[in-house]
Every structure is written in C-alpha cells, then in structure tokens.
Amino acid sequence: MFTKITIFFFISMLLLTGCERKHKEAPAKEQAPKVEKQQSKAPSTITLHTTSGKNILLTATPKGILFGGYEGKVVMLDFFATWCPPCRAEIPHLADIQNAFKDKVQIIGILMEENKEDIDIQKFESDLGINFPVANSPANFSLSDALGGIKSLPTMVMYDKDGNYFTHYVGAAPQEMIEADLNRAIAK
C-alpha cells in the first residue's frame, strides 16, 4: 500500500510541475513574458517554420504579436519539449481545446529543442494526436528570447484576437482554467 501511494505521489508531482529548459547560460530569475522585453530584444518580425512546411509570420506590436494567417483568432503558444513529461501529458488536453474552439482559437506548438528533424517531430505529433501546427526552427529560440526567455516547460502564452498579450501559464495548467481564459479572451 505504501509503495502504491509513493508511486502515485511521485507521478502526480511529475505531471503537475514543469520541466526546466536546459540553458547554456546562467539561469535568470523566472518572470512573466513581457511585451516590453519582446520589443526591445526581438526583431520586429520572426518567421516560424512548422513541421508541415508552413511558415508563420509573427510581427511584434506594442501590446503583443500579430500572427500571420490567424487574424481574428485567439492564439496560444505552447512552448514544449518532447522529453518533458508534463508537456507530453498536456498535449491531449490541448488537442481537445483545439477541437472545441477550432473556429476561434489557434494553438501553435513551439518546440524548444535543437537539431530535431521535422520527420521525427511529425512522428511525435502523430503518436500524441497533435492537431495544431508545431514550429521546429531556430526562430523558436528567438521568440523565446523576445518574450523574456522561457525558463520552464511547458509554458503557454495566450494572445487575444487582436494579438494583444492576454495571459500565460508556467507549468501544466488545468484544461478548465485554459478554457475559461479562452472564453474570456474570445468575448473581449
């Protein structure tokens, strides 16, 4: 009985916490993504390459980001890694959200791993049922830096339908919380 409780506790803690992003530089203080940092650190545009060969043009604004091809939709960026257990656990919930809100919301996966081939990530997408685009390019790291540096995975950043920053989550977030925030962002 004690062993089952211990295993349950360990798995629960693993799923409810985030993974630390591996950095080459010294770790910095954890903070919320800030538009001011985005503007001062980032180029005015970033082009993300998806595993399906599509390019997504991101344009910095004073209050957020405009997402080419997703105008009028709430956009949620999901910064993740394939080796991160909480990231993997959250993917089915994100797929459910994408299905439920498909006309009003677009989730974009932002892979935070280097030197991954699109074909390998496509297999990962298929295995986990990912139904939203996944960006796999060096520009992913430029985007992370533009948002002040993503330190923990998963991290999700939500923008309203006008491209204005709305909210963010560090670590795994309950599907109900994300859906409530999406409904607020859509109604805005």
Asked whether the predicted pLDDT for residue 23 surpasses 80, the reply is no
Q: Whole-model pTM?
A: 0.80
Which domain covers residue 136, as residue numbers? 29-187
Residue 119 — pLDDT band, cuts 50, 70, 90?
A: very high
Q: What is the mean pLDDT of residues 70-95?
A: 97
Q: Is residue 45 part of a domain?
A: yes
Task: Provide the percentage of residues in the chain whose pLDDT is more than 70.
Answer: 77
- 168-to-50, 73, 87, 90, 178 alpha-carbon distances in Å: 22, 16, 15, 15, 9
Q: Is residue 16 part of a domain?
A: no
Q: Is residue 7 part of a domain?
A: no
Residue 105 parent element (H or E): strand 105-111
In CATH, what number is assigned to the domain containing residue 99? Answer: 3.40.30.10
Q: What is the mean pLDDT of residues 42-52?
A: 88
The total domain count for the chain is 1
- Given this model, what pLDDT does residue 79 score? 98
Q: What is the mean pLDDT of residues 177-185?
A: 97
Q: Is residue 6 part of a domain?
A: no
Q: Is residue 42 part of a domain?
A: yes
Q: Is residue 21 part of a domain?
A: no
Residue 20 — pLDDT band, cuts 50, 70, 90?
A: low
Asked whether the predicted pLDDT for residue 135 surpasses 60, the reply is yes
Q: Is residue 19 part of a domain?
A: no
User: Is 73 within 8 Å of 152 (Cβ atoms)?
Assistant: no
Q: Is residue 130 part of a domain?
A: yes
